[in-house]
Structure 1
C-alpha cells in the first residue's frame, strides 16, 4: 500500500498523529496475509465496520505495517519516533497499550480512530482483547471488537476479553476504557467456577456485570450437562453472583421446578457465612437437621465454626470449633461437642419410652513452629470426654468402636546440646471400664553422654579410658486415677501417687578384636516411691486384701555387663544358567555377661492367693509407679541370634547390575533369652522368637512368640521342671504369640501413569484438621473414588494368643488362654468406566461375625457425582443416597436421602 496523505510534523494534525501513535505505545508485528472476511456487528450501533477488504481512507489517513522494531517511519520527515509513550491531551490513556495484528493497522487522524485487522491482540493494564478486528476511538474512549462474518461456530474465531480471572467470548464487544462500562452480545462468560451464557451481557464498572436471558452452570463443557436458566443475573467479580427466578435443565431438557432466587459466592479465601444443614431420618432420633451452622472470620489469624444437630424426638447436639493460625509462630484448634440424646427405646421390656443421655467431648490441638523459639518445643493433643460419647455418634462406625482416648501436652527445652528437659501432661481413658488415668505431670531431664577423661586437645592415639562416657536420665511421674461414673475429689486424692527414677549409665568403647566388637557397661538406677502396697490373705472371707502405706521410700539396682557381637556370612551359589543365582545368609550372634546384686530382696514376700494353697511372690512396690525392681541376684549369660536371608535372581526387565536382582526372603528372624547362674530355680528365662518378612514385595508378615521352658500344674502355675523332661518332651510351652499379615493389591491405571495413593494435604492445615479430613474420607469413600484404577483390595489379618491370670468367684487363681483374631478389609472395583462399587469392614473371628461393614456405590457424572452409602452392620445401621455437583459454589445444592437405625 502507499501513503495517500503526507504528514507534516510542524502542523497540528501531524502532532496529534504522532502523539496518538506514541501514546498507544504499541509494536506492530503485522505481515501481509490473504484477504479476510469481516464480521457484521450485532450491537446495533450505526458505526459498524463495512464488510469489505479495505476501508476507504481519508486524506489524513496512515496505514502502518508492522515492523520488528518499535519505531514508526514518518515519510516526509525521514525521522524515527524515539519515544513509546507521551501524554499530549486530556483524552489520552493513563497506561501504555501493547498490540499486534496479523494484517495491518489503520490510523484515521480526523476521527482519531485506530483499527487493527487480522488476529488482533491488544493489552491494556489487566485487560487483554483478542479479535479479528479491534477499533479504538480515542475521542470517545470506546473500543469495539468483532469476529468473522462467516457461519463458523468455532469459538476461537470470536472476540475474547480477559480481565483478571474473568474471561468472556462474544459475538461483539463494546466497552469504554475510561469508565470500564461495556456491552457484549451472545457472550460466554467465566468467573471462577461459574460459567455463564447470556444473550446480552452489560458491564457497569470494573467489577459489576448484568446478564439478560442467560443460563449459568459449573460444568466446563461447551454443551454442559446441566444449567440454570434465568432472565436476570448480576455478578460482582470475586464476590458473588445473584440470579432471579431460575429453572434447571439437564442435558438441555427443562425440569418443571424452579428456585425463586439464587446467591452464589465467588469470593476466594475465607469469608463468613451460613452452613446449610442436611436432612436425615433416624429410627431412634426421628427427623433431623444435621450440621446447621455458621462460619465466622474474626481476624486474619482466628475463625470459629459452630454447628448443631436437631432431632424431632427432642435430642440435640452442638459443636464449637475455633481455630487459630499465626504463620511462623503457632497454630491450633479447639473443638467442644455436647450431646443431649433422646432416642426411642427399642427394648420393650423396659417401661420408659425414650432413652436419654448427656455427654461431651473436648479436643484441642496446638503446635508451635520450630523457628519461633529455636531449642524449645510446645505441642498439645487433648482428647477428653464422656465414656459414652463415641457410642452415640451417628453414621461413623470408626468412632463408635473407638474405646481408648488419650491426650498429651508436652514442652521441651534444649540447653546447648548438653542437656534437655521435657514436661508432659498425659491422659488415657478406657470407655469400656470407665477408668481414667492422669499423669500431671511427667518430667524428664537428660544429660547427654559426656567424656570426663577426654582431653580438650587430642595429641596422638586416644587412651582407652578417654572413651569412658557418663550420662544421666531422671524421670518424675505424678499419677491420678478415677472412674468417671464414681468421681469424687476424696477418691481422687486417695489414688494419687508419685515416683522418681534416676538412671546413670557408664559406657566404654573398646577397639575391635578382629571381627568381634566388645562393649562393657555399668548402670546405676534408683527409684523413689510415694507408697507401698501390702497384700494379706483373709482366711475368713477367703480373699486377698490390700493395704496402702503412704510415705517416702527408695530402692536401688546396679548392673554390670560386657557384650560381644559379630557377623557371619555364608553364600550358596547355583549354576549360572539357573534363575536363582545365589542364596545369602547373614548371622548376627550376640552374647553378654551380666551381673546384678540382690539389692531388692528385702521388699519381696510370699503370700497365699487362693484356697488351694498357691503362693505368689509379691513386691511391696508392685502396682506402684514407677514399678518394682526384680528380685534376687542375677549373674548369668544373655544370648541371641538374628538372621537375614536373601537371594539373587535373574531379572528379565532390570538390566542394571548385570541383570541380577536381590530379593529378601526374610528381613529378620531369631531368638533371645538368658540364663541366671546364681538362681536356685527357674534359671532359664523364656525364649523370645520373632520373624519379619515381605513376600513378593506385596505381603508384609510379622510374627513373634514366647516359649516358656518350664512345665505348669493343673492351674497353670510354673513348676521347676523343664518341658523336655516330661513324658511328652517339647522345646517349650507357648505362653504368648502374635502374627500380623497385611497386603494391598491394585490394578494398573487406565492411562498407564503411576497412581498416587497419597491424599493431598494442605500444609497450612493443623494435624487435627488433617486427621478429620482422613476420617471424613474413611466415612465417605464414595466421594474420593479414583476411577482411573479399575480395582483395589487391602487386607489386614492379626492373630494374638496370651495367657492371663484371673480370679474366679471363689477367689481361686488360674491361668486362661485367650485368643483374639480379626480381619480388616477394604476394596473397590469398577462395574463400568463410570460405575464403581466398594466396601470396608471388620471381621471378628472370636465373635464369629462382622462387627462393622460399610458399602458404597458411586457414579461418575463429570460435573456431578452420585453416591449410595450403606452400613448394614454396626452400632448404627444406615443408608444414604446423595446427588450433588462437584463444584464448591454449588456444593450445598444436593439431593440427599438418609435413614438410620440402631442395632441395640
Structure 2
C-alpha cells in the first residue's frame, strides 16, 4: 500500500507543470496601451463612473483607466489615491478587477483589491480578476503594480482546464517568474478541496520553461498523507516533448509482482507521435506494446496499436509454466477527410489478434473477455464524375476466436456500372417506349480468399490453399404496367466465372485388415477455365386493398393490404456433357458412379446441374387497425397500430423436375402485442412425405414423391423460429419524476460557476468504454429471447437463448448494473456480471464482479473522475485465471 501511494503521489506531482503554466499567466499585462483622460461624476444615488488622465510628467501611468463604484468613491488629492467602495470595478485594457473595495494608487502605480464585511458580519465582495484570454480567478486580496508588472494574490481560487488552484500565495516577479507558496491543486470544485483531496505545493518557482518545487504532499479528507516529496524539477516546454512514462506497481496472484506500463513517449513531430510501453512480472511473464497517432489537418487521421505478450501460468515445473502463452494484437484505424480527394476514399479498420489476446491480459473488461468475432477491412474506392463506373477494392479479415479459424481476402476487387437505358434518348419527349425501358448493368468481382486456422496462418504450405476467381454479371431487365393495376417485369441474367484451377476426383481402394476400404482422392489441376450460365425470368405483381370502417367505439377501421406475386424462371441443364462442367467418379468396387462439378469448392461455385423451368409464387399481407387516441380528449386523434407486417408465404414449382417438383413453403412475418413489443418469426413447411427405413442396421430416411395432404396430413414443419427484444426504463413509463430523480442544480461556492458535478454525472467512470453510467435515469431493463426448432425427419433440435441486462439507482448516487441470461440447453445461468457504481463527487467507486463460471473474477476501483488525474486511483483485482 505504501508503494502504491508513493507511486501515485510521485506520478501526479507532474501535474505541477500544468499548475505552473496557468499560474504564470495570471499577471501578464500589456503596459504599452495608451490611456485617455476624462472625469465625470454621476448623482450620489447611482453608480459613479470616473475616467482619469494623468500628466505623464507627474506620473508613470499614461494608459486609459476606467473605474466605477456602486456605493461611493473618495479621492485623496494629496497622495493621488482613489478609494472605491461597493461593487467597485477597475478596467485597464481588456482586463477587469471587481471587488467590494479597491484602492487605486496613481502615485505608486498600484492597485489593491479585497472583500468587505457587511453590517451582519458576513464577508462578501471577494476580488474577481478577469482576463478574456485566461479566464477568471477569485481571491481574498489582489495587489498589482502597473509599472513593474509585479503582483501578489492571496488565497487564490481559480479554475484552469478542469483543475482548481486554491489557497496560498502567488507572486509574480518582474522577470516573469511566478513564486508559489502553500497553494493546492485539485479537480474537486469544493471551496475547500482538502475535504476530498488535493496536492499541496509548499513552495515553488515557475518560469516559462521549467518548474522547481520544494516539499509537496497529498491531502485526502483533510488528512495529510505522510509521504512528502522534498523537491521536484520539471521541464515545461511550450511544444510537444518526449519523456519517460512511469510504471504501475502491483501484484497479480498468478503472474507475481509487476512493473507495468513503463515506457517512453516520443513526440516525433507536429503530426505524429509514438508511445512505447512494456511490463515485467516476477514469475517470468512480460509484455510490450506500441501505440502511435497521426493526423494531417483536412487530409487524414488515424492511430496504430501493436502488442505482444508472453505469460506463464500455473506453478513452476508444470507444462503451463514451462510453455508460456504467447499472444499478439494489432489495431489500425485510418479516416480520410471526404474533401481531401473528391471521388476517392481510403479507410482502414483493422482488429486482429490471437485467440488469447483478450483473455490472458489483466484488466480486460467483461465484453473483451467474451468477444468471439474479429473483423478487419482496408478499403479504397473510386467514382468517376459524370460516369456510371465505380471501383472498390479491399483487404478483409474475419476471425473466430473460439474455433480459431481465420478467413482472409487478399484482396477483393469490385468494378461496376450503374444501370442505364442504352436505347433511351437524353432529349426524349414524352413517355418511354417499350424498348427504351430496357435497362442494362454490369459488375465484376475478383477475389483471393484463404481459409485456415491461426496456428497455420504464417506457414509456407498455407499459401497453396488460396482460392482465386473472377466473376462477371450482366443483368438485363425491363418493367412496365399492364392492365393498369399490374406491374410486369422481365429479366435476363448472364454470369461468367473465371478460375485458375479445377479439381478431379479419383477412386482409391485401400486394403485393410478387414477388407478393402473405399475412398476418394482429389487432385487440383492448374490452368484457366471459364464457366458461364444464364437464366430467364419474369414476374407479375399487384396490390389489393381492403378496409372495414366502424362507426361506434374506439375502433375506427381495419385495413388489409394483400400483395400477390407470380413469376416464371428458366435455367438450362449445365450438367450436360456438351458444357464440360461436370465429371463423374467411381464410388465403390461395384462400379457405382456419381457426377461432380469440376468447380467444386471454388469461390463462386459452378453452374447448376439439372434443368429448371419453374413458377414462383408469393403472398404478402399487412394488417393494421386505426383507433381513437385515449390521450386526445376531443376524440379527433387517430392512432395506427400494426397487427401483422410482412406476413408472407413463398414457394416454387419446377415443371421439368423428375420428382419433388414443389419446393418447401417458406413463411415469415412480424406481429405486435404492444406498441413496444413485437415478435419476428419464420419457418419452412415440407409438402412431401418423409419415409424412414432400416438400412444395414441403421435408421435412414428420405423424402418420397408423395404429398402429405394425400394422406390427410398438413405439410411437415421442418424449422421454425421466433425472437423478440424489449427495453424500457423509468422515462418511457413516465415515472421519472422529482421524487426518484432529484435535480442536481448548482452548488454555491467561491468560484461563481456552474457545479461541475452535474456535468460529471454523465461520464465514464473507468477506462472501460462500456461502463457508461447515467445516474439521471432511475432504472433500465432490456432483454432478448430467441427460439428455434428444426426437424430433419430423423432428429429434432430445439435451441433457446435468453439474455437480460439493466441497471437501477438505489439512490441518486448509487447505481447497480447487471448482465445475465439463461442457457436452456445446459439448464444453467449463462455468463453473469454485476457492477456497482458510487458517485463520490470528485471521486468514483466501481465494483465489477463475475460471481461464477469460467471467468469468475472481481475488481474494485476508487479513482478521481477528472481525466487529467485518471491514474490517481486505488485498485484491487482478482483475474479469472488466478488459481488462488
* Structure-2-length-normalised TM-score: 0.81
Mapped partners of 1:30, 1:223: distance in 2: 41
Q: Is the 8 A contact 2:181 2:204 kept in 1?
A: no
**Partner of residue 562, structure 1:** 538
**SS class of match (2:431):** coil
**Partner of residue 623, structure 2:** 645
Mapped partners of 2:702, 2:609: distance in 1: 17
**Partner of residue 499, structure 1:** 469
**Partner of residue 571, structure 2:** 596
**SS class of match (2:648):** strand
User: Out of 772, 791, 802, which is 1:784 matched to?
Assistant: 772
User: Out of 486, 490, 501, which is 1:531 matched to?
Assistant: 501
**Partner of residue 637, structure 2:** 659
Q: CA deviation at 1:738?
A: 3.8
Higher mean C-alpha deviation, range 314-323 or range 892-901: 892-901
User: Out of 854, 878, 882, which is 1:899 matched to?
Assistant: 878
Q: Is the 8 A contact 2:34 2:64 kept in 1?
A: no
**Partner of residue 688, structure 2:** 710
Q: CA deviation at 1:157?
A: 1.6
**Partner of residue 577, structure 1:** 553
Q: CA deviation at 1:504?
A: 0.9
Q: Is the 8 A contact 1:834 1:860 kept in 2?
A: yes
Q: Is the 8 A contact 1:245 1:258 kept in 2?
A: no
**Partner of residue 848, structure 2:** 869
**Partner of residue 185, structure 1:** 154
Q: CA deviation at 1:701?
A: 3.1
User: Out of 171, 174, 182, which is 1:202 matched to?
Assistant: 171
Q: CA deviation at 1:467?
A: 1.6
**Partner of residue 297, structure 2:** 327
Mapped partners of 1:384, 1:94: distance in 2: 68
Q: Which structure 2 residues correspond to residues 722-871 of structure 1 after superposition, within 5 A? A: 722=706, 724-725=708-709, 729-734=713-718, 736-748=719-731, 749=736, 779=768, 784-801=772-789, 819-841=798-820, 843-871=822-850
Q: CA deviation at 1:342?
A: 1.0
Q: Is the 8 A contact 1:180 1:206 kept in 2?
A: no
Q: CA deviation at 1:831?
A: 2.1
Q: Which structure 2 residues correspond to residues 34-113 of structure 1 after superposition, within 5 A? A: 65-66=48-49, 96-105=64-73, 111-113=79-81
Deviation track 1:611-660 (CA, whole Å, cap 9, x = no partner) reads: 99999764222211111232222212111122222222222335799221
Q: Which runs of 5+ in 1 are unaligned?
A: 1-19, 35-63, 73-83, 756-772, 805-813
Higher mean C-alpha deviation, range 117-126 or range 890-899: 117-126
Higher mean C-alpha deviation, range 829-838 or range 159-168: 159-168
Identify if the C-alpha distance between structure 1 residues 186 and 725 changes in structure 2 by more than 3 Å, giving closer, same or farther.
closer
User: Out of 269, 279, 283, which is 1:313 matched to?
Assistant: 283
**SS class of match (2:287):** strand
Q: Is the 8 A contact 2:479 2:487 kept in 1?
A: no
**Partner of residue 650, structure 2:** 672
Identify if the C-alpha distance between structure 1 residues 97 and 652 changes in structure 2 by more than 3 Å, giving closer, same or farther.
farther
Mapped partners of 2:534, 2:843: distance in 1: 70
Identify if the C-alpha distance between structure 1 residues 271 and 438 changes in structure 2 by more than 3 Å, giving closer, same or farther.
same
Q: May I ask how many residue pairs the two structures share in their alignment? A: 809
**SS class of match (1:504):** strand
**Partner of residue 888, structure 1:** 867
**Partner of residue 441, structure 1:** 411
Q: CA deviation at 1:818?
A: 5.2
Identify if the C-alpha distance between structure 1 residues 776 and 689 changes in structure 2 by more than 3 Å, giving closer, same or farther.
farther
Higher mean C-alpha deviation, range 836-845 or range 530-539: 530-539
RMSD between superposed Cα atoms in Å: 4.0
Identify if the C-alpha distance between structure 1 residues 649 and 727 changes in structure 2 by more than 3 Å, giving closer, same or farther.
same
Q: CA deviation at 1:707?
A: 2.9
Q: Is the 8 A contact 1:393 1:400 kept in 2?
A: no
* Residue 373 (1) aligns with residue 341 (2): yes
Q: CA deviation at 1:411?
A: 1.1
Deviation track 1:368-419 (CA, whole Å, cap 9, x = no partner) reads: 1221111111112223333443342333343333343322221111122311
Q: CA deviation at 1:269?
A: 10
Q: Is the 8 A contact 1:317 1:339 kept in 2?
A: yes
Q: Is the 8 A contact 1:525 1:557 kept in 2?
A: yes
Q: CA deviation at 1:730?
A: 3.0
Q: Is the 8 A contact 1:429 1:437 kept in 2?
A: yes
**Partner of residue 125, structure 2:** 157
Identify if the C-alpha distance between structure 1 residues 520 and 86 changes in structure 2 by more than 3 Å, giving closer, same or farther.
farther
* Residue 400 (1) aligns with residue 376 (2): no
* Residue 148 (1) aligns with residue 108 (2): no
**SS class of match (2:328):** strand
* Residue 286 (1) aligns with residue 269 (2): no
Q: Which runs of 5+ in 2 are unaligned?
A: 1-31, 510-515, 693-698, 743-761
**Partner of residue 44, structure 2:** 32
Q: Is the 8 A contact 1:421 1:444 kept in 2?
A: yes
Deviation track 1:683-710 (CA, whole Å, cap 9, x = no partner) reads: 2222222223455343353332233333
Mapped partners of 1:280, 1:616: distance in 2: 67
Mapped partners of 1:697, 1:271: distance in 2: 58
Identify if the C-alpha distance between structure 1 residues 513 and 279 changes in structure 2 by more than 3 Å, giving closer, same or farther.
farther
Mapped partners of 1:753, 1:330: distance in 2: 46
**Partner of residue 11, structure 2:** none
User: Out of 858, 867, 870, which is 1:879 matched to?
Assistant: 858
Identify if the C-alpha distance between structure 1 residues 750 and 251 changes in structure 2 by more than 3 Å, giving closer, same or farther.
farther
Q: CA deviation at 1:271?
A: 6.8
Identify if the C-alpha distance between structure 1 residues 489 and 884 changes in structure 2 by more than 3 Å, giving closer, same or farther.
closer
Mapped partners of 1:358, 1:202: distance in 2: 56
Mapped partners of 2:413, 2:365: distance in 1: 37
Q: CA deviation at 1:819?
A: 4.6
User: Out of 533, 536, 561, which is 1:586 matched to?
Assistant: 561
Q: Is the 8 A contact 1:531 1:549 kept in 2?
A: yes
Q: CA deviation at 1:100?
A: 3.1
Identify if the C-alpha distance between structure 1 residues 33 and 851 changes in structure 2 by more than 3 Å, giving closer, same or farther.
same
**Partner of residue 12, structure 2:** none
**SS class of match (2:605):** coil
Q: CA deviation at 1:663?
A: 1.9
Q: Is the 8 A contact 2:170 2:181 kept in 1?
A: yes
User: Out of 172, 177, 180, which is 2:141 matched to?
Assistant: 172
Q: Is the 8 A contact 2:628 2:635 kept in 1?
A: no
Deviation track 1:771-816 (CA, whole Å, cap 9, x = no partner) reads: xx999979475x5322211111121223345679xxxxxxxxx986
Mapped partners of 1:690, 1:497: distance in 2: 36
Q: CA deviation at 1:103?
A: 4.0
* Structure-1-length-normalised TM-score: 0.80
Q: CA deviation at 1:608?
A: 8.0
Q: CA deviation at 1:607?
A: 6.5
